[in-house]
């Protein structure tokens, strides 16, 4: 109570100090908000690595978010410039976005993101977890940066040239495995550094009933990953192999990978008559990769095929891969009657990879040919009911590379599916959609591919009161593969309900709540290699997810409203991997000046996995700062 | 008696209906401003203001273009409405059937790459009109949200279950507004059954826009990456399993395809991935996490078994 008292006093003082209501300003040349302050975090109880893998928010001064818009009355360099960003000050995700335009001259956008990928969850890949030994294999601490811009010239004219550039880069460290053969594997340091540049430019030709886009572009890729070890490493094998202790003393693996891929794209849309629309697209790309790989390692290793032990190894490999990719689609929408629409679409996608490595017999070829034809008939039964029915046929073939002298794998795909749906809009306050898709495949690639499947989807929205709206979703998917050696059954059920309640227009109270339930079941046979007997793989998941925010509007301070919000999110799942993740929060926003609010937020994170109890964590965060608005 | 009642009703109805004033003609935006001053005033800051000076006039525009008639580009000729001030005498796209609204918008916007797949999209099939997401008269940000938070809020208002998946522990950073739904999806649809956005460079899933190191081509490809894409193993909307896997650990994910059953005859169903038989002792902890050794599972440039 003592802690609350000063706050109440401060609130009372602020509430009495309300100045007169300011007159509405004329159109401002600068508008926007900036949210800045400080975040504290308590010590993380439990696994700090898992905390960083899931949440990863740290302490310190932060620019939580900012956005501003400048409207230049003189329209000299731009008409409008809008900039926004979040997470500056060391947060694991930092973004910036800018957009500027000048009517009929240009339109420019810039986007930047810097996202941290920390991933160290021993249950993911640590073979010794059950022994209580925690190595950190397959863990990474990297940052991925994406930056790019797009410039469009003369928007709104008949000819619109444009340029686009993006760069995606990844760098950081990690722990991966060096595997000399299946007799032992060694967790070793991994240094990751790669980037991809994407350039494209083209012209859009825009006429009243016809349009074409012609684009030329390309990618350039570079990957300089390194894997090193400088001290003795006994690896994961806990026992000697034929009396010899296998170990790694030194290692240097260097991947020098360079890639590039020019491409050409064309797109056409046309409405030659009022009752017909046509569209088509064609893309051809030729990606290629050149590889120079160096590996030298010393220690004690074994060649399993000859059972010879050796102490040093060196590999210098050069390889290349070429991937021509041709993709095309065309479609037409015909409206022969006012209430009837027929949509027909054809797609083909042909991707081939031919590759070779400087090792005998390593020439590889992957072929993937995919085709799809679909027709949808949509009929407006009444102004409030629309019916839909159609057919989708998918076919293709693929050839997978040969494996150690065996014949290449070859698969074919043939699947027919029927679709049906109804959209029902009995009143402006109520709308509902029901969709069904059911299919059967004569040929399919994988044991888990869609074979005999049914998918149901329903969605409804009801505005019960002017202040209360409810949305409901349902998705059900079931798929079976009855082949005796597979006996695969899969089913998933997903339904969700959301509610938005804003009594009296949310002047005093508003509530946004969402609840969703998910269940997944998957059963499939596989063979135990030691005994060649069948075993069954089960996967079960029954999850509940909820989130909500209850916002109270407090009496005005300085003629502006103060807010208190409470809510958060929870996730709890039972089944093969029980998990719970709770994120309650509370927010307080108090006006402290004409254009400033004092904003504070409290959050608690609690993550628990009963099967992997050492991966749980709990922590509390408190952030406070100012929101300045203009 | 009945005939006289009907006659009476008909005569009363006829008396209430204003005399037809013939086909509507263009009245000009100034006429609209008389009553709708606020909307017309704000419209100057709206990107659709470009209609005023654009040479493009859509399917049904007058030959001289839309100069001075911007409102009627969407609302149709308004002369009858200006005379009667009746809502029924003007076209209100928000109250048309969704397909009719779409046709109106696509009259100009079908001619743009982002919307070229609209007529094939799930939103179009489900009768979700353009105006369900775009507030035509409002500010540029409300017309076309660019902030991730605004985009996500809009999508989540209908896709409740999908948004709920982002409450799971391992997700892309959408709840934190570092990403938005449209980074991966084109809500206007594309010429395939899925709305997943494709990379401009090679027509592959948009995952590769950020995860460029998984693009390849690799000397040794992992076939599902090409045939089924990333979602063969990952749940991009959120998972309770590390690395957003669809199953509780890597072993289970891998074994659903890699059954350890010998090679079936070529062309047989479910052939891919069933071979070759592996002789790892799956009951040993060392072999229960496949990706511990098969570190280059997305594709390798050095080793067919993805060890390096």
Beta-carbon contacts of residue A607 (< 8 Å; ≥ 6 apart): A46, A50, A51, A54, A579, A580, A581, A582, A615, A616, A617, A618, B169
Name the minimum distance, in Å, from the CA of B134 to any CA of chain A: 17
Using alpha carbons only, give the angle A241, A242, A248 rounded to the nearest 5 degrees: 35
Rounded mean pLDDT, A439-444: 90
Inter-CA distances, A454 with A441, A478, A493, B115, Å: 12, 5, 12, 29
Rounded CA gap, A600 and A591, in Å?
Answer: 12
Which of A166, A257, A398 faces B227 most closely, judged by CB atoms? Answer: A398
Task: Map tokens 């190595």 to a residue.
Answer: A135
Confidence class for position A502, pLDDT limits 50, 70, 90: very high
pLDDT tier at A212, thresholds 50, 70, 90? very high
The Cα A125–Cα A185 span in angstroms is 13
This prediction's pTM: 0.89
Distance from CA of B4 to the nearest CA of A (A): 32
- Write the CB contacts of A62 (distance below 8 Å, at least 6 apart in sequence): A36, A37, A38, A39, A87, A88, A89, A90, A91, A623, A625
Query: Which residues of chain B does A471 touch, with a Cβ-Cβ cutoff of 8 Å?
Result: 157-158, 160
- Measured between beta carbons, which residues in chain B are less than 8 angstroms from residue A213? 113
According to DSSP, the residues that pair with A515 across neighbouring strands are: A497, A546
Which residues 406-465 of chain A have a CB within 8 Å of chain B? 406-407, 409-412, 421, 423, 425, 431, 433, 435, 441, 443-449, 451, 459, 461
What whole-number percentage of chain A has pLDDT above 70?
Answer: 93
Cα(A444)–Cα(A70) distance, rounded to whole angstroms? 55
* Ramachandran bin of A333, using left for φ above 0, alpha for ψ from -120 to 50, beta for the remaining angles: beta
Q: B1 vs chain A: nearest CA distance in angstroms?
A: 34
Of A95-99, B228-232, B273-277, give the range with the top mean pLDDT: A95-99
Are B221 and A406 a contacting pair at CB < 8 A? Answer: no
pLDDT per residue over A49-60, tens digit each? 999 999 999 999
Contact A219 B256 (CB under 8 A): no
Angle at B47 between CA B42 and CA B49, to 5 degrees: 65
CA A482 to chain centre: 33
CB contact under 8 A, B167 and A274: no
Determine the pLDDT at residue B14. 45
A-B contacts at Cβ under 8 angstroms: 463
Contact A291 B292 (CB under 8 A): no
The answer to whether A547 faces chain B, any CB pair under 8 Å, is yes
Does residue B168 contact residue B159 with C-beta atoms inside 8 Å? no
Does residue B41 carry a pLDDT above 90?
Answer: no
Contacts of B73 (CB under 8 A, 6+ apart): B51, B57, B58, B61, B66
Cα within 13 Å of Cα(A204), Cβ side? 24
Q: What is the pLDDT of residues B274-308, one digit of tens each?
A: 755 567 777 777 777 888 888 999 999 998 888 88
pLDDT at A237: 77
Give the pLDDT score at A194: 95
With a cut of 80, say whether residue A279 has pLDDT above it. yes
DSSP code at position A44: P
Cα atoms found within 13 Å of the Cα of residue B264, Cβ hemisphere only: 20
* Whether pLDDT at A5 is above 80: no
pLDDT averaged over chain B? 80
Given a cut of 50, whether residue A589 has pLDDT beyond it is yes
DSSP-derived secondary structure for A191-205: EEEEEEEEEEEEEEE
Closest residue to B275, CB basis, from A146, A164, A409: A409
Number of other residues whose CB lies within 10 A of the CB of residue A57: 20
* Spatial separation of the C-alpha atoms in residues A150 and B80, rounded to whole Å: 44
Please tell me the distance from the alpha carbon of residue B221 to that of residue A55, in angstroms, as a whole number. Answer: 33
Give whole-number Cα distances, A509 to A472, A498, A559, B153, in Å. 23, 17, 18, 19
Is the CB of residue A289 less than 8 Å away from at least one CB of chain B? yes
Q: Which residues, at least 6 apart from A118, have a Cβ–Cβ distance to it below 8 Å? A: A52, A53, A56, A92, A140, A141, A142
Q: Worst-scoring range by mean pLDDT, A211-215, A474-478, B168-172, B186-190?
A: B186-190
Q: Tens of pLDDT along A167-190? A: 999 999 999 989 877 678 888 999
What is the pLDDT averaged over residues A24-31? 69
Contact A192/A173 with Cβ under 8 angstroms?
yes
* Chain mean pLDDT for chain A: 89
Q: What percentage of chain B carries pLDDT values higher than 70?
A: 81
């Amino acid at each position: 109570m003592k802690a609350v008292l000063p706050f109440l006093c401060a609130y009372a003082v602020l509430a009495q100090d309300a100045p007169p209501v300011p007159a509405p300003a004329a159109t401002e040349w600068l508008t926007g908000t900036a949210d800045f302050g400080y975040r504290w975090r308590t010590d993380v109880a439990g696994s700090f690595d898992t905390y960083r893998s899931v949440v990863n928010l740290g302490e310190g001064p932060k620019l939580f978010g900012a956005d501003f818009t400048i409207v230049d009355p003189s329209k000299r360099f731009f008409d409008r410039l809008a900039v926004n960003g979040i997470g500056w000050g060391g947060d694991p995700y930092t973004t910036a976005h800018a957009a500027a335009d000048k009517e009929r001259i240009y339109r420019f956008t810039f986007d930047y993101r810097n996202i941290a990928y920390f991933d160290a969850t021993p249950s993911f890949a640590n073979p010794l977890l059950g022994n209580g030994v925690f190595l950190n294999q397959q863990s990474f601490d990297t940052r991925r940066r994406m930056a790019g811009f797009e410039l469009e010239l003369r928007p709104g004219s008949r000819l619109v040239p444009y340029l686009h550039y993006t760069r995606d880069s990844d760098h950081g460290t990690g722990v991966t495995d060096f595997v000399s053969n299946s007799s032992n594997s060694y967790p070793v340091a991994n240094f990751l550094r790669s980037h991809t540049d994407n350039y494209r430019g083209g012209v859009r030709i825009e006429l009243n009933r016809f349009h074409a886009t012609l684009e030329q572009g390309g990618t350039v890729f570079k990957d300089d990953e390194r894997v090193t070890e400088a001290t003795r490493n006994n690896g994961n094998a806990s026992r000697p192999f034929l009396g010899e202790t296998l170990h790694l003393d030194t290692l240097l693996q260097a991947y020098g990978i360079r890639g590039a891929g020019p491409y050409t794209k064309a797109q056409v849309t046309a409405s030659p008559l009022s009752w017909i629309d046509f569209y088509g697209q064609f893309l051809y790309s030729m990606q290629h990769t050149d590889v120079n790989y160096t590996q030298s390692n010393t220690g004690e290793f074994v060649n399993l095929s000859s059972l010879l032990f050796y102490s040093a190894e060196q590999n210098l490999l050069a390889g290349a891969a070429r991937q021509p990719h041709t993709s095309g689609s065309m479609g037409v929408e015909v409206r022969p009657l006012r209430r009837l629409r027929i949509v027909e679409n054809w797609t083909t996608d042909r991707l081939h990879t031919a590759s070779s490595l400087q090792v005998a017999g390593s020439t590889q070829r992957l072929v993937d040919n995919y085709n799809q034809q679909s027709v949808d008939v949509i009929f407006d039964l009444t102004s409030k009911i629309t019916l839909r029915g159609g057919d989708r046929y998918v076919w293709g073939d693929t050839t997978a590379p040969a494996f150690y002298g065996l014949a290449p794998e070859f698969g074919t795909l043939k699947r027919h599916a029927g679709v049906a749906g109804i959209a029902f809009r009995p009143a402006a306050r109520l709308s509902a959609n029901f969709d069904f898709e059911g299919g059967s495949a004569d040929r399919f690639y994988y044991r888990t591919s869609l074979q005999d499947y049914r998918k149901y989807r329903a969605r409804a929205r009801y505005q019960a009161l002017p202040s209360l709206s409810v949305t409901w979703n349902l998705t059900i998917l079931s798929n079976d593969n009855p082949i005796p050696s597979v006996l695969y059954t899969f089913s998933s059920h997903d339904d969700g309900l959301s509610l938005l309640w804003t009594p009296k227009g949310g002047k005093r109270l508003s509530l946004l709540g969402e609840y969703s339930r998910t269940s997944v079941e998957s059963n499939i046979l596989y063979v135990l290699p030691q005994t060649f007997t069948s075993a069954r793989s089960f996967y079960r998941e029954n999850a509940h997810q909820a989130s909500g925010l209850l916002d109270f509007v407090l009496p005005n301070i300085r003629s502006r409203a103060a807010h208190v919000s409470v809510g958060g999110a929870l996730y709890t799942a039972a089944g093969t991997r029980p998990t719970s993740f709770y994120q309650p929060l509370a927010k307080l926003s108090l006006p402290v000046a004409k254009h400033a609010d004092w904003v504070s937020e409290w959050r608690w994170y609690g993550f628990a996995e009963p099967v992997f109890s050492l991966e749980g964590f709990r922590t509390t965060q408190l952030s406070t700062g100012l929101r300045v608005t203009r | 008696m009945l005939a006289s009642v009907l006659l009476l009703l008909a005569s009363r109805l006829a008396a209430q209906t204003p005399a037809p004033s013939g086909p509507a003609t263009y009245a000009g935006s100034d006429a609209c401003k008389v009553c709708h001053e606020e909307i017309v005033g704000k419209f100057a800051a709206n990107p659709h203001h470009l209609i005023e000076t654009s040479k493009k006039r859509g399917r049904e525009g007058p030959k001289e273009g839309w100069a001075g008639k911007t409102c009627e580009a969407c609302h149709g000729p308004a002369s009858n409405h200006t005379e009667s001030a009746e809502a029924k005498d003007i076209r209100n796209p928000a109250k048309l059937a969704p397909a009719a609204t779409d046709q109106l918008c696509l009259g100009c916007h079908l001619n743009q790459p982002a919307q070229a797949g609209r007529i094939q999209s799930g939103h179009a099939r489900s009768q979700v009109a353009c105006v369900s997401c775009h507030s035509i008269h409002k500010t540029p940000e409300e017309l076309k949200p660019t902030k991730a938070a605004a985009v996500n809020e809009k999508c989540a208002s209908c896709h409740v279950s999908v948004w709920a998946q982002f409450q799971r522990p391992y997700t892309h950073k959408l709840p934190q507004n570092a990403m938005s739904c449209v980074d991966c999806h084109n809500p206007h649809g594309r010429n395939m059954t899925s709305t997943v956005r494709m990379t401009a460079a090679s027509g592959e899933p948009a995952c590769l826009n950020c995860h460029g190191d998984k693009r390849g081509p690799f000397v040794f490809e992992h076939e599902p990456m090409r045939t089924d894409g990333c979602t063969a193993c990952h749940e991009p909307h959120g998972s309770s399993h590390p690395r957003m896997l669809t199953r509780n650990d890597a072993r289970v994910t891998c074994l659903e395809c890699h059954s350890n059953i010998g090679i079936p005859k070529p062309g047989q169903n479910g052939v891919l991935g069933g071979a070759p038989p592996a002789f790892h002792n799956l009951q040993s902890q060392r072999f229960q996490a496949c990706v511990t050794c098969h570190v280059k599972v997305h594709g390798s440039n050095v080793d067919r078994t993805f060890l390096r």
